[in-house]
A and B are shown apart, each in its own frame.
Chain A
Amino acid sequence: MTDPATFVLATDGASVFVRNLTLFVLAAFVGYEIITKIPTNLHTPLMSGANAISGITLIGSVVVAGSGETLYATVLGFLAVVMATVNVVGGYLVTNSMLDQFRSGGRD
C-alpha cells in the first residue's frame, strides 16, 4: 500500500476503510440536507450541475492513467480521462448556458 498514487494516510487496510467510510457517511448526510426546496425551473440545471460534479471521477482517471504500469491499465486510463473530461467540461458549460437563459428573461 505504499503506492504513491493512493494517498494513504493510515497504513493498515481496516482503518483506511473506516476513514473512507466516515467521509462517505458524513457526505451522504450533507448531500441529503442541502437539497430542500427547489423551484421547478431549477430542477434541470441542478441535475446538470450535480452531474458535472460527478465528473470528479476524472481525478481517479488522472491517477490511473498517470501511474498505469501495464499497457491494459494505461489504455483504460486514457479512455477514462477522455470520458471524464467530456463530463466535467461539457457538464459545467451546459449548466452555465441553462442558467444564462433564466437571466435573459426566460422565466416561467
Chain B
Amino acid sequence: MAAILDLPEAALAFVYLVAGVMFIQGLRDMTHPRTAPRGNLISAGGMALAVGVTVLVTNILTPVLLFAGLLVGGAVGVWLAVTVETTEMPQLVGLFNGFGGGASALVAGAEVIDMFGTGSFGVGVTATASLAGIIGAVTFWGSVVAAGKLHGVIDDSAVRYDGEQIAKAAFLIVAVLAGLHLTLRPPLLGSVPLAEWVPSYWVLIVAASILGVLLVIPIGGADMPVVIALLNSYSGLAAATTGFVLSNSVLIIAGTLVGASGLILTIIMCESMNRSLANVFFGGIGESGDDG
C-alpha cells in the first residue's frame, strides 16, 4: 500500500515542529497545578498529531499488521489505565515507561536488520542503534523490576551481594563490546555479525537487559519513585537516540525533552525525599560502604 497522504518532506517536518512545540508547552503547563490538566491535553494533542501524520505519510507495506498493533496496544493501554487503583498508579507508570524503552530498543534492532538486508548502512546508524539498544533494554528491565518491587511481586528490600559493582561493570562492558562489534564489523568472528538477524545486536540486548535488572535490584522499595523518574529520563534518551537512527526530528526533540526534564525532575524528587542522586543511581554505594 502506498502512503495514504502524499505530503512533501518540508510539510511533514513542519507538522513535527508544531508537535514539538506542543510537547514543550504541555510540559511547561504541567508544572503548575492550575494549568496541569490543560498541559496534559496539549501534549496528548501533539502526540496525536505527530503519530497521525506519520501513519498517513509512511509507505506502509503491511497495513493490517500495523493497525492491528495500534489497536491491540491502544486497547491494553486503555484497559490498564482504566482499571488501575489509585495506589497502584506509580508502578503502572513504571511499567508503561519500560514499554517505551523496550519499543525503542526493538525499533533500533529492526532498523539495523533492515539495513543489513539492503546492504546500505553507515557507522553513524549502527553506533546510535547500539546506544538506543543499550538504553532501551536497561530501561525496559529496570522499569519492570522497579514496578515489580512497588507492586510487591519482587522482594522490595535492597538486595546486596559481593562484587555488585563488578557484575554491573562486566555486563556494561559486554554490551559496549557487542555494540563496537556491530559498528566496526571487524573480521573477527567472520561473517557472524552479518547474519540476517544481526546476532551482535542481540548479544548487546541480552547484556543490557541483565544490566538493567542488576541496576535496580540493589535499590530499596522506598527509592523506587526516584528510580522510575530516572528510568523515565532514560526512556526519553532511548527515543532520542532512535531518532538519530531514523533521522527523525520529532523523535529527537520529544525524546531529548523528556531526557533532560526527566533528569531535573529526578534531582528535584531526590531533594524532596532527602536522597542523594548518586546513591540511588549506583545502587546505594554509600549505604554499605564495603563494595569494590
Contact = CB atoms under 8 A, between A and B. Distances in A.
B89 A57 contact: no
B61 A67 contact: yes
Nearest to A37: B31
A46 B155 CA distance: 27
A69 to B, nearest CB: 6
Interface string B110-124: 110110011010101
A49 B26 contact: yes
Interface string A26-46: 011111101111111111111
Interface residues of A, number: 89
Contacts of B43: 49, 52-53, 92
Main secondary structure of the interface of B (DSSP, over half): helix
Interface string B57-69: 0111111011011
A83 B73 contact: yes
B244 interface: yes
A30 to B, nearest CB: 6
Nearest to A77: B110
A29 B260 CA distance: 8
A53 B102 contact: no
A61 B99 CA distance: 12
Given A86-B99, A89-B78, A36 B31 contact: yes
B90 interface: yes
A44 B246 contact: no
A60 B246 contact: yes
B18 to A, nearest CB: 14
Interface string B236-265: 101110111111111111111111111011
Interface in A7-37: 7-9, 13, 16-17, 20, 23-24, 27-32, 34-37
A80 B103 contact: yes
A97 B59 CA distance: 36
Given A85-B73, A94-B92, A28 B260 contact: yes
Contacts of A96: 37, 40
27 contacts: A6-B247, A7-B246, A28-B259, A31-B258, A31-B262, A35-B31, A38-B265, A44-B93, A48-B89, A54-B97, A54-B101, A54-B236, A56-B254, A60-B104, A61-B107, A66-B60, A67-B58, A77-B66, A80-B104, A85-B70, A86-B96, A88-B51, A90-B92, A92-B40, A94-B84, A94-B93, A99-B37
Interface of B: 9, 12-13, 20, 23-24, 26-28, 30-33, 36-37, 39-40, 43-44, 47, 50-51, 54-55, 58-63, 65-66, 68-70, 72-74, 76-78, 80-82, 84, 86, 89-90, 92-93, 96-97, 99-104, 106-107, 109-111, 113-114, 117-118, 120, 122, 124, 196-197, 225, 228-229, 232, 235-236, 238-240, 242-262, 264-265, 268-269, 272
